[in-house]
Amino acid sequence: MKGFKYYKPQSLKEASELLKEYNGEAHILNGGTDLIIRMKENFLHPKAVVDIKHIPGLHAITFDKEDGLRIGACLSLGTIAHHRDVVENFPIIADSAEVVGSGQIRNRATLVGNICNASPLADTATPLLALDAEVIIYSPNGTKLISIHHFFKGVRKNCLNVGEIVTGIKIPYSKNLKGAFKKGSRRQDVDLSTVCTSVVKINDEIRIALGAVAPTPIRGKMAEAFAKGKNLTHETITEIAKIAVAEASPIDDVRSSKEYRLHMVEVLVTRSLEELKV
Amino acid sequence: MKHEIYFTLNHEKILHEVKANKTLLQMLREDFDLTGAKEGCGQGECGACTVLLNGKPINSCLVLAVEVDGKEITTIEGLSEGINLDELQKSFITNGALQCGYCTPGMIMTAKGFLNANPTPTLEEIKVAISGNLCRCTGYKRIIEAIIEVAEENQSKD
Amino acid sequence: MKYVGKSVTRVDGIKKVTGDLKYVDDLKMPGMLYAAVKRSPYPHAKIININIEEAIKLPGVKVVTTGKDFPKRVGLYLADKTFMAVDKVRYRGEAVAAVAAETKEIAEEAISLIKVDYEELPIVSNVLDAIKEDAPLIHPNLGEYKHAPIFHTLPGTNISEHFKLRKGDVELAFEQADFILESEFYVPHIQHCPIENHSAIAQFDREGRLTVWASCQSPYAVRAALADAFKIPSHKLRVISPSVGGGFGAKAGTTLEGIIIPLAMKTKGRPVKLTYSREDEFNNSYVRQAMYATFKTGVMKDGKIVALKSNFIWDGGAYTEYGVNIAKSAGFAAAGPYDVENIHCDSYAVYTNNPVGGPYRGFGMSEIHFGIEQNMDIISEKLKIDPIEIRKLNAHKPGGRTATNALVDDACGLIDCINKVINDIEYHKPSQQPKEDYKVRAKGFACGMKAPSMPNNAASSAIIRINEDGSAYLSVSAQDIGQGSDTALTQIAAEILTIPPENISINTGDTAHNPYEWQTVASRITYSAGNAIIKACEDIKEQLFHLASIKLGIFPRDLQLEEGFVRSSIYPNKRIPIKDLALGLSMEDGSAVHGPLIGRGTFIPENIRNFDMDTGLADNPVVFWTYGCYGVEIEIDTQTGNIKVLKVASCFDVGKAINPDLVKAQCEGAIVQGIGSAIFEEIIMQNGRFMNPSFMDYKIPTANDIPEMLVSYVENRQKDGPFGARGMAEPAMIPAAPAIASAFYNATGIRVKELPLTPERVVKALKNHKILNKK
């Protein structure tokens, strides 16, 4: 790992100023499970690393029905996956957090980090997309909320400007939320998703989010539109899944062929809908 | 530039200077000669470098040494006192839960952290808990049995 | 027996659970330098020029070396490799230059400053292309390479070994056969994946003594290879292997040691260390060779196989110093554990521009049995004979003949193993199907066999010293690489000396202090080192009886050892503790005789003879065959393609289990490693590039992938084995992949010809076939 300056700011303002000072050549350090690998393997060599874990206020989960669920930036996936508010009200988020890496990874890695990396196959991105989550961003001009739908800009690209810091995620609460997170992988545990999906049903509305099938995690809008108001019969489900497949544009890589990924979209969406219809 | 860090290492308070680009694993092995934690992959896939950070198992190859300022680190060397081995260590020996021994320190530390949080787990929970620790020799069966034995002792203590 | 046959607790437990045990990379030495290696970005290219000027100028850099410093070709069976490329690179990642520097970081920076000019050559990335007549030659000078006389190289081609087995008259037998079946199979490259990556340290002193600390299975073989390559007398070359974090064959030969020695020769006594990263380990240690197999089988109506014609084409990669012997081993085991009168087999080791092939648990047997066993299923289906019955009909049995026409001796317990496994897995009882209609379960079965494939003179030795308190040192050079040899060998000594295992310390891993051992490979250590230890114990016993007979006035023939005493077998109260004789016998007048007790034992297998070079036939070519089988039950998710292995029953004929728990532990590890090779593991090669050299993309089984394991063994005594024991740890993995493939067929009706059964491959196979509905 090449050398860099390490900062441990005590406030968002301080952190943000550091990031601006380095003008894109500083990297935020949160759980570090992705950043440190990328630095060790020479994909990244930032001049400075800004550790945000000592900034107060980034370690909380809050929940009420009006405001929804707020997950602080520095909470580990392991904590999130087992947090009562998450497990009881947003099990789909807990399920997705529970399958990222190993237990050791989940004790360090964070949900916000998983999102900020903007990997197309981020497991936790799909439930957030399906739940219309908002990303809470500190910017020098004040805090702003950006829809998760506008957050991802490409493979490993997010919408943050220099000096901006994601402080948390806000997820609206729905009383009648039912959801299913599914992951296809070569090995059952500690593996990257070949494809992952989150399908949620809120009253009569179906939402479908897909990971590892496009440069960013995506929503299957056409499939959702088709599903709207329909009874989830076996035939309808088959059709919805087929439309979702048509919305995916995966690549071939060492983990899977494009064909298998498309096949998996169909399988996972179908299975999710079969689960949700009951 | 070096950073001064103040942390607890195997129950002992330590003041230490470390470069920012050193991992916790490197610091333990190079600066403290604590070589029980090993590097098997450097990517958080094999778990051979597992130590406890504030009681929780983590991959020390993916943590910067500077990050442990103010924290508590326990390595395999801190698990026993002299020949008074920890229950898990004893159980690994009596159950034959080791072969080449290279994954063993990481495996035990993961099991330790896991049992701290969940003293009476199910078999399935144990399997998932150690799935981040690769062992190429044993086929895991005896490792699982060793952990079950300690869990059962925990159960009987309840 | 008091210690043999008992599940004595491992003798190396405490140091392994405490982290006390030092592996090579854990060692730090005063003045130690760190090495880094410049590697070829091309799979096949001429080296035009290597410019090291900038690298050598970098502060902190001590030495830079290139292949030209030591251009001598070396190799275990075929001297085809240099430790660093000379003039030409033959695989992507081959070492072309090395640096020793004050820190690893400086060494790595220096590497980036070395400039190499290459001229790319056409690459041979597929073994079937490599054997074509117009294929580019990877080793044009093959004819000049030295090799053991038992191998048959074909200069002017890419074939470095052609083993021919010609038994009976296959063509005539095919004419007479009722059925003729043909099939073909492919097994990809995989890797051992010990959790410890290779590591070595070399130090060269001013007297010309070289010390090498290496994570290696076979210190003496490493010494031999290095002494030859670097022209260092054996007595000045000390190889120390303090501990080995898993081997499985990966650490059987020499790899990175040869890179650091030239550096260490120029550092004025400062030690030089090189430790592989996981990526290096994948690219630059050995891989298990890929292999194409074809079978043509002639069968009679009653299921008796009368003729077999097979081809094994091994992708040996850039160098086949070890691979030639794997090809040979496959050839002489051509029919697997079946008695076939007419066999015609050609097995070829072939050069390609792929990673270097080497020994991996099973040594060719896992690969050939994938085809052999599925071929048995194909025959069984064609003839509508139960797959177990057809195996039993054709199986090796005492009095039968092996492929090389050697007599199958009384110790072959294959039928016993089959009966045990069929019962344990309830083979003939259909699987209970899961409630999800997209999941299907089925059972499968496969047999396997293996012999140690080694030079006929592969020897072992042991030295035992009795201490004045009656405890003992046992010195051998068998390496405990996790398999538990330290424990089992200690038990053997304890049994004969009647000294409890806890009073015996075993010393290994140092050629300067412990006696010769050929190699810790081939599942031969319990057998070979065990025999040497028995002889060393007998030597001690003879000395003890001699002294005791003087002291007690009893003939040596009437003495025996019991609980640490030499005692009369006639007058039980006439006895003397071993400790009183440890330093010799002191007489009543104060005079003494004999001196300290040192026992010496050496062993070499007797009467093992070469194969006939033209026919491959031999009446006694190997020390033993180990037989066994697997029954498995799997569940397939027919939509995602994921396979879960639910249950494995295995049984092997181990001769005698010196330590039952250790035997079972080897079987369990083998099952899980075998599952990896069946459903996960594959090196993905694209034009000479290893596409998945990390645990992120090369998946091995985790704790959550293991099946229920019903492990058993039978004990048909090995007549020349210590207490009847024979090797079993490698054989224990062999039937895994074919048994799982057999279950897959029984579940889906699809015969898989290619491993591994990854979700994607399963889905593709199911899509291309009409699936049998289980209901």
pLDDT in tens, C543-588: 999 999 999 999 999 999 999 999 999 998 999 999 999 999 999 9
A260 Cα to chain C: minimum distance (Å): 6
Residue linked to tokens 């290139």 = C66
Lookup: tokens for A207: 């939402």
Res B76: pLDDT: 98
Domain boundary among B78, B99, B128: B78
pLDDT digits (tens, 9 = 90+) for C388-414: 999 999 999 999 999 999 999 999 999
The answer to whether B34 faces chain C, any CB pair under 8 Å, is yes
For chain B, the residues whose C-beta falls within 8 A of a C-beta of chain A are 1, 3, 19-23, 42-45, 47, 50, 53, 56-59, 61-64, 66-67, 69, 110, 113-114, 128-129, 131-133
Four-residue CA torsion sign, B151, B60, B39, C684: positive
Nearest by CB: C702 against A189, A192, A255: A189
pLDDT digits (tens, 9 = 90+) for C710-746: 999 999 999 999 999 999 999 999 999 999 999 999 9
Give the residue extent of every domain in chain C. Answer: 13-121+198-275, 290-401+409-454+610-768, 460-603
Taking one residue from B and the other from C, the number of pairs with CB-CB distance under 8 angstroms is 166
- Report the distance separating Cα A35 and Cα A56, nearest Å: 22
The answer to whether A216 faces chain C, any CB pair under 8 Å, is no
Res C771: pLDDT: 52
Query: For C384, how many CA atoms within 13 A lie in the half-sphere containing its CB?
Result: 0
Closest-CA residue of chain C to A41: C279
pLDDT digits (tens, 9 = 90+) for C332-370: 999 999 999 999 999 999 999 999 999 999 999 999 999
- Domain C460-603 bears CATH identifier 3.30.365.10: yes
Res C770: pLDDT: 60
Query: pLDDT tier at B157 (50, 70, 90 boundaries)?
Result: confident
Lookup: tokens for B124: 């399935």
CA-closest candidate to residue A197, choices A263, A256, A264: A264
- Report the distance separating Cα C335 and Cα C171, nearest Å: 16
Q: How far is CA A210 from the centre of its chain?
A: 11
Nearest by CB: C695 against B36, B43, B101: B43
Q: How far is CA C54 from the centre of its chain?
A: 42
- Report the distance separating Cα C706 and Cα C440, nearest Å: 18
Are the Cβ atoms of C697 and A254 closer than 8 angstroms? yes
Nearest by CB: B134 against C16, C243, C695: C695
C509 Rama class: left (phi>0) / alpha (psi -120 to 50) / beta = left
Domain boundary among B61, B78, B95: B78
Query: pLDDT tier at C64 (50, 70, 90 boundaries)?
Result: very high
Cα distances from A208 to residues A70, A124, A260, A266, C92, in angstroms, run 22, 14, 19, 12, 43
- Report the distance separating Cα C347 and Cα C332, nearest Å: 9
Res A183: pLDDT: 98
Mean pLDDT along residues C668-680: 98
Are the Cβ atoms of A32 and B62 closer than 8 angstroms? yes
Beta carbons within 8 Å of C636's beta carbon, 6+ residues apart? C439, C440, C441, C642, C643, C744, C747, C748, C762
For chain A, the residues whose C-beta falls within 8 A of a C-beta of chain B are 1-6, 8, 29, 32-33, 36-37, 39-40, 49, 51, 53, 78, 101-105, 107-108, 188-190
Closest-CA residue of chain B to C675: B139
Query: What secondary structure, in 3-state letters, does C140-179 show?
Result: CCHHHCCECCCCCCCCCCCEEEEEEEEECCHHHHHHHCCE
Are the Cβ atoms of A189 and B129 closer than 8 angstroms? no
CA-closest candidate to residue C457, choices C635, C623, C687: C623
Closest-CA residue of chain C to B22: C105
Beta carbons within 8 Å of A48's beta carbon, 6+ residues apart? A4, A5, A6, A7, A18, A22, A25, A26, A27
What 3-state DSSP class applies to B93?
helix
Domain boundary among B56, B78, B100: B78
Res C774: pLDDT: 42
Q: Are B68 and B105 within one domain?
A: no
Q: What domains does chain A contain, in order, with CATH numbers?
A: 5-51 (3.30.43.10), 61-171 (3.30.465.10), 177-277 (3.30.390.50)
Superfamily of domain C13-121+198-275, CATH level 4: Aldehyde oxidase/xanthine dehydrogenase, a/b hammerhead (3.90.1170.50)
- Report the distance separating Cα B154 and Cα B151, nearest Å: 5
Mean pLDDT along residues C182-186: 97
- Report the distance separating Cα B95 and Cα B88, nearest Å: 10
CATH of the domain at B125: 1.10.150.120
C55 Rama class: left (phi>0) / alpha (psi -120 to 50) / beta = alpha
The domain tally of chain B equals 2
Res B1: pLDDT: 80
Mean pLDDT along residues C609-623: 96
Identify the H or E element spanning B9. Answer: strand B2-9
CA-closest candidate to residue C714, choices C393, C361, C421: C421
In sequence order, the β-bridge partners of residue B124 are none
Four-residue CA torsion sign, A29, A34, A37, A40: negative
CA dihedral C726, C727, C729, C734 (to 10 degrees): -100
Res C763: pLDDT: 97
Res C384: pLDDT: 97
User: Mean pLDDT over all residues of chain B?
Assistant: 97
Are the Cβ atoms of C665 and B144 closer than 8 angstroms? no
Lookup: tokens for C42: 């091309």
Q: Are C408 and C400 in contact (CB under 8 A)?
A: yes
| Angle, CA of C610, C611 and C614, to the nearest 5° | 135
Identify the H or E element spanning C221. Answer: helix C219-230
Checking if the pLDDT of C762 tops 70, the result is: yes
C290-401+409-454+610-768 belongs to which CATH class? alpha beta
Domain extent at residue B106: 87-157
Closest-CA residue of chain A to C675: A187
Mean pLDDT along residues C693-718: 98
CA-closest candidate to residue C146, choices C228, C90, C80, C85: C80
CATH of the domain at B34: 3.10.20.30
Mean pLDDT along residues B95-100: 98
Res B83: pLDDT: 87
Q: Are A176 and A251 in contact (CB under 8 A)?
A: no
Q: Are B138 and B97 within one domain?
A: yes
Res B82: pLDDT: 86
Q: Are B108 and B64 within one domain?
A: no
Q: Are B30 and B92 within one domain?
A: no
Q: What is the CA radius of gyration of chain B?
A: 16
pLDDT digits (tens, 9 = 90+) for B49-92: 999 999 999 999 999 999 999 999 999 999 998 889 999 999 99
The answer to whether B105 faces chain C, any CB pair under 8 Å, is yes
Peptide bond connecting C756 to the previous residue in cis, omega within 30 degrees of 0: yes
Are the Cβ atoms of B138 and C246 closer than 8 angstroms? no
Q: What residues in chain A have per-residue pLDDT under 50?
A: none
Chains that touch A (3 or more CB pairs under 8 A): B, C
Closest-CA residue of chain C to A256: C760
Q: Are C380 and C200 in contact (CB under 8 A)?
A: no
- Report the distance separating Cα C467 and Cα C385, nearest Å: 63
Fold match flag (C13-121+198-275 vs C460-603): no
Lookup: tokens for C539: 């030597």
Contacts of C764 in chain A (CB under 8 A): 260
Mean pLDDT along residues C317-321: 98
